[in-house]
Structure 1
Amino acid sequence: MDSINLKIIDSLSFYKRCIKQGCTEDEFRYALMKPVETMWKYLNAPLQATIPGGYDVVMASEMLGIWTPRKSVDLIEPHITNLEATGIFSKASDVIREGVQRFAAIGYQIPLTEIVLNILLGDSENGILMASQGYSGFAGIPGYIVLLVVPNAFNQTRLESALAHEFNHNVRFSYQPFHHGDITVEEYLVIEGLAEVFAEELFGIEKRGPWVQDYDQEEMAYTIEVMKDGRSAKGFDQVSAYMYGDEVAREQGYHPVGLSRNAGYTIGYHLVKAYLRNTGHTIEQATLTPSEVIVKESKLFE
């Protein structure tokens, strides 16, 4: 199809209402989470817990670093104006439109009629979120994109790039579905590398996310060797240790594997870059290429 309808949840009005008159967990649940309920169902997070205090979208949101009314509105009040000032709510349609056109140009019609975009304020007390310069996203379920941000000088100019990154995930998973608990380190390297290179091609290297680190030659060679040995590991705990590095692994109770922060994102980025150099393919063509082909033709692990 030539276009995809972008539905943007009006989170700004919800946050402004919270500041003016307060808000409850249920209001958060139904104003901001209900529109993406299908996404949460895929992640086994019910809209409402079956027992008081049980696992639901509010608890899941907290775990992802999203602000919820369980915390003080003082945490978000300084950030509402800054989020609005980024212009991401008005710029988002252009990002999606350009992404759709780039894939249409290689003959791929993305099998989606609508993308629901939820732009949410992050929890500034979440250490993992703040370690990634206060912004992150999720787009593992085609048709749904979540951006979360604690606006600051670094990320306020990078939200369009972050949206392009997440859009690429939606396209990739429309081609090759994402199996959260059964994904290998190797597959995750490719997924994140594709998304960041795609965003970079749209918005330039200066808008690249902080999850791609600048390694010297020695650290790059060491990290590639660790990834080479562990790339068949499965399970989100093991994958997280390789993708996010030892610091986050310890914070999350996972077994560290001897890597710097965001090592997997860095190696994934360079892996995809190597694949594009070696093959002459575009990032759009690469997005529709099996992971094992990208890894083999990148020659990164040889």
Structure 2
Amino acid sequence: MTISVIDSASATASILDAAPEARADLVRKMWAPMAGMYHFIPGGIDMATVHRQNFGFDWEDSSATLRDGLAALVAADAWTRIANALDMGAAAVESADPAVRVPDLKVLLVLGDHTNGHFLDEIQGLSGFGGIGGYITLTVWPTARVLDRLEAIAVHELHHNVRYAAGGVVWDPAIVTVGEHVVSEGLADTFATELFGDAGYTHFVAEATRADNDVLAKVATGLDVTGMQNFAAWVLGDSTARLFGGAPVGLPTGAGYAAGTRLVDAYLHATGTSAAQSVRTPSSDILREALPRLGLTPPGRA
């Protein structure tokens, strides 16, 4: 296994130093190692568009704020910390389940767009993606909370990557359910807590949301929902659903994460296992065990 954390610090500095007309191509160059994530798109995709879709910084912004943000990540030794955390996480998964081998990884840390209100305020400077085998992207704005959680953020995405690359769990867009997405977020957060304590919990999920039985019950009614265009509301909440043109369902930000951690916790307590050991466990098994323990009806039962 090889984990390659791309030197996006130097790449970002070069973008900010470049003439305005040259910056978009430099953004594409920074993202080029991640192009394999989009192998399924005929003709590929413009990686500058991917940058914007992932809440990446506005390369047309000439304010000092971006340079300050980059300097904060450099001062925090973010790239080294992420690499070390991924090494630790990989070792933990492979030790817990010897049948699993973590894939080679390319990892891109991106400075986020501090002018985007949803990114900065609603999801509090964090957008990560690790669901395609061999690739992890982390877009962050270096608030104190984000900097404190860098390791946990990284291993959260690692758990997703292993689950869908080496864990044998198939994410089929045609049939995948909200239940799978919710369980995967719960497993990833819980895995991060196994390594880094309470810092493992995704920070844009309010404590009140985590403890809200009504939120849990509402998410449980949507576990059988399919169609990935519908997932944002059930997992990330109504605000994100509206941003991407989806229909709200009456849930706060991070509701699916909150429900997922409670479902996973119930399953792990019942089975005496860990999130590291459960990276390959089908969501149906977890829900079948967890829902009744939480006083909820399993999917498919009247």
1:229, distance to aligned residue in structure 2 (A): 1.9
Q: 1:202 — aligned with what?
A: 195
Relative distance call for 1:180 and 1:83 in structure 2 (3 A) is farther
TM-score (norm 2): 0.88
Q: Which residue of 1 aligns with 2:14?
A: 17
Answer yes or no: is 1:59 the counterpart of 2:49.
yes
In structure 2, the residue matched to 1:139 is 130
Match of 2:107 among 110, 117, 125: 117
AA aligned opposite 1:129: F
Instruction: Kindly provide the amino acid, as one letter, of the partner of residue 44 in structure 2.
Output: P
- C-alpha distance in structure 1 between counterparts of 2:191 and 2:41, whole Å: 26
One-letter amino acid matched to 2:37: M
Please tell me whether the aligned partners of residues 185 and 242 of structure 1 are also in contact (alpha carbons under 8 angstroms). Answer: yes
Partner of 1:258: 250
Q: Secondary structure at the match of 1:76?
A: helix
Conserved 8 A contact 2:127-2:139: yes
Aligned in 2, Cα 1:29/1:73: closer, same or farther, shift over 3 Å? farther
Q: How many residues align?
A: 288
Determine the C-alpha separation between the residues in 2 that align with 1:132 and 1:45: 32
CA contact (8 A) 1:25 1:68 kept: no
- Partners of 2:184 and 2:94 in 1: CA distance: 20
From 157, 170, 174, the equivalent of 1:177 is: 170
Contact 2:189 2:202 in 1 (8 A): yes
**Residues 86 and 157 in structure 1, CA contact (< 8 A), matched pair in contact too:** no
Equivalent residue in structure 2 for 1:40, among 38, 53, 66: 38
The 1:165/1:68 distance shift into structure 2, 3 A limit, reads: same
Indicate the larger mover: 15-24 or 281-290.
15-24
* Distance across 1 between alignment mates of 2:189 and 2:241: 22
The answer as to whether partners of 1:213 and 1:263 remain within 8 angstroms in 2 is no
Residue 27 (structure 1) aligns with: 26
Summarize the alignment of residues 145-294 of structure 1 with structure 2, pairs less than 5 Å apart. Answer: 145-174=136-165, 175=167, 176-180=169-173, 182-215=175-208, 220-294=212-286
Partner of 1:53: none
Superposed CA deviations along residues 63-121 of structure 1, whole A, max 9, x for unmatched, are: 22112424446452121110112212112332222222222223133152x21010111
Q: 1:293 to 1:43 in 2, by over 3 A?
A: farther
Moved more, 178-187 or 238-247: 178-187
Q: Please identify, of 90-99 and 194-203, the stretch whose mean Cα deviation from structure 2 is larger.
A: 90-99
Match of 2:68 among 78, 83, 86: 78
Displacement after TM superposition at 1:263 (Å): 0.7
Relative distance call for 1:58 and 1:253 in structure 2 (3 A) is: same
SS, match of residue 283 in structure 1:
coil
Deviation of the 1:268 alpha carbon:
0.6
8 Å CA contact retained: 1:286, 1:294: no
Residues 88 and 216 (structure 1), Cα distance of their counterparts in 2 relative to 1, 3 Å cut: closer
The alignment's C-alpha RMSD in Å is 2.1
Unmatched 5+ residue regions in structure 2?
Answer: 298-302
Q: In the aligned structure 2, how far is the partner of 1:249 from the partner of 1:267?
A: 17
Distance 1:98 1:149 in 2: 21
**Offset, 1:227:** 1.8
* One-letter amino acid of the counterpart of residue 274, structure 1: A
**Identity across the alignment (%):** 30
Match of 2:300 in 1: none
CA contact (8 A) 2:216 2:258 kept: no
Structure 1 residue 185: Cα displacement: 0.8
